[in-house]
Amino acid sequence: MKSTFKLILASLALTATGFSNPSFALPAGWTCDGVCGDLGPDGVVTAPPAYGPGYSYITTNGSSYFPAGLTLGSETNGSVATSPLFGAAAGDALAFYFNYVTSDGAGFIEYAWAQLLDGTNTVVATLFDARTNPTPGADTVPGFGMPSITATIVPPSTPIIPGGPVWSPLGGYSGSCYSTGCGYTGWIAATYGIPTDGNYYLQFGVVNWLDTIYDTGLAFAGATIGGKPICTPGVDCFSVPEPGSLALLGLGLAFVGGLTWLRRRRV
């Protein structure tokens, strides 16, 4: 009965947002599996520290894509954004900013990550992982029970900024908070030294955990290699997105928001 009720809520959430698997623009040459896009300052996600005011995002909200994630065992739906193939020399600095945002908590420990892949899509490094942590004041990055990270992050301490995060890519769960652990990290800078000459992909992902409700997303910005933007050459990767690109995401706020009080979950 409990599982059936949760599936009904998930279906209503997708219907209320007005689509099942939309995808908005990413920087030129990037690809999306699930729900991805570009946005400007919105709710708790401000302009990034550099290359703003726009940023890209991935979200579990509205996605019918089921990524393997980091294959920890209980992933459900999610989204993945992948850069175009780029060349790099040993020692080149890979850099970007990210901001983890989640409306879920308690034992529903969603997570996001970034990985560097080689030209054959083999994982070279897990750059960071971020995870919902129900322990107040505990770090969100690196994610507990997850692979060690290889990027240097600033700030090095990353407790969640608690509360129901208002952010359009969360759709009907924007402003909602299930138990302890929900919130956002704020912008975190990540840098990594390329180990060997070669061709690479940069990939960001986010997943729901155990169920497909109370969504989670990841904002990212300023992806560069050796100081040069990672996107199709000759295109402005960091242009400001058109306003209103996420108008549909707000359609379900009132409807789904009215249902959230019904949800009772036991870890």
SS3 content of the chain, % helix, strand, coil (to 5): 15, 35, 55
DSSP label of 198: E
- The amino acid present at 238, given as its one-letter code, is F
Residue 246 is predicted with a pLDDT of: 40
Q: Is residue 182 pLDDT above 70, yes or no?
A: yes
**Which tokens sit at 244?**
């209103």
How many other CB atoms are there within 10 angstroms of residue 263's CB atom? Answer: 14
Residue 233 is predicted with a pLDDT of: 75
Angle at 46 between CA 130 and CA 38, to 5 degrees: 80
**Which tokens sit at 23?**
């995808």
CA 77 – CA 61 distance, rounded (Å): 9
Q: 38-61: per-residue pLDDT in tens? A: 999 999 999 999 999 999 999 999
Summarize the confidence of residues 58-68 as an average pLDDT: 94
Q: 120-171: per-residue pLDDT in tens? A: 999 999 999 999 998 988 999 999 889 899 999 999 999 999 999 999 999 9
CA distances in angstroms from 224 to 11, 15, 94, listed in the order given: 38, 37, 6
How many other CB atoms are there within 10 angstroms of residue 15's CB atom? Answer: 15
Strand segments, DSSP code E, in the chain are: 31-33, 35-39, 55-59, 75-82, 86-88, 93-102, 111-118, 123-131, 152-154, 161-162, 183-184, 188-193, 198-209, 216-225, 228-229
pLDDT-based confidence at residue 24 (cuts at 50, 70, 90): low
Q: Is residue 115 pLDDT above 90, yes or no?
A: yes
**Which tokens sit at 243?**
């306003």
- Closest to 17 in 3D by CA, of 262, 263, 255: 255
Which of 98-102, 172-176, 239-243 has the lowest average pLDDT?
239-243
Q: Is residue 196 pLDDT above 90, yes or no?
A: yes
| Residue, of 94 and 261, whose pLDDT is higher | 94
pLDDT-based confidence at residue 239 (cuts at 50, 70, 90): low
Give the percent of the chain with pLDDT over 70. 80
Summarize the confidence of residues 6-21 as an average pLDDT: 36
CA distances in angstroms from 163 to 12, 44, 82, 209, 249, listed in the order given: 24, 10, 30, 19, 20
**Which tokens sit at 247?**
């108008």
Q: Is residue 2 pLDDT above 80, yes or no?
A: no
How many other CB atoms are there within 10 angstroms of residue 144's CB atom? Answer: 15
Q: Where are the domains of the chain?
A: 2-262
- Closest to 167 in 3D by CA, of 182, 148, 145: 182
Identify the bridge partners of residue 217 per DSSP, sorted by sequence position. 59, 101
CA 160 – CA 105 distance, rounded (Å): 11
Q: Is residue 258 pLDDT above 60, yes or no?
A: no
CA 216 – CA 206 distance, rounded (Å): 7
DSSP label of 91: T
